[in-house]
């Protein structure tokens, strides 16, 4: 959901339609903590990990977002921000079948991981 003030800004300035990153501060901070925890246990450098994850997200795991149940809990905790960022990249414009997803639970998990990738791009 957008805040009323944000909707007014969009109407007053239509060429600026990207969501305000400040609304993502809480979720970005949690993802940073997960990444730092991953680096602490596996080694590496923060910026290198982010760049590598953006290039090949399927090749890397982030502690706290490994198990489907943890990913689902993350979605429940941050569903408004996740739904908004997925909407901004038009994730919902493709059908689950086009994304090779054949179950509701898998759709939530894959969508959440896609949102995490988009959040990491903002770090």
| pLDDT over 60 (residue 32) | yes
Task: Assign 78 a pLDDT band (cuts: 50, 70, 90).
Answer: very high
Q: 13 or 41, which is more confident?
A: 41
- What's the pLDDT tens digit per position in 38-73? 999 999 999 999 999 999 999 999 999 999 999 999
Rg (CA), the chain: 15
CA distance 108 to 25: 22
pTM above 0.85, yes or no: no
List the one residue out of 106, 36, 30, 39 whose CA is nearest residue 74.
Answer: 30
Mean pLDDT of 105-118: 97
Task: Assign 119 a pLDDT band (cuts: 50, 70, 90).
Answer: very high
Q: Which residues of 36-59 are buried (b: 16+ CB within 10 A; e: fewer)?
A: eebbeeeeeeeeebbeebeeeeee
Q: 58 or 6, which is more confident?
A: 58
| pLDDT over 90 (residue 100) | yes
Domain ranges of the chain: 20-121
């Amino acid at each position: 959901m957008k805040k009323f003030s944000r909707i007014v800004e969009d109407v007053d300035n239509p060429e600026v339609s990207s969501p305000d990153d400040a609304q993502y501060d809480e979720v970005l901070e949690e993802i940073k903590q997960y990444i730092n925890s991953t680096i602490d246990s596996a080694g590496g450098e923060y910026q290198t990990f982010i760049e590598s994850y953006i290039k090949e997200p399927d090749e890397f795991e982030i502690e706290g977002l490994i198990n489907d149940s943890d990913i689902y809990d993350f979605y429940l905790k941050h569903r408004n921000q996740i739904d908004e960022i997925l909407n901004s990249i038009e994730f919902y414009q493709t059908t689950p079948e086009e994304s090779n997803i054949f179950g509701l639970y898998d759709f939530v998990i894959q969508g959440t991981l896609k949102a995490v990738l988009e959040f990491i791009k903002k770090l």
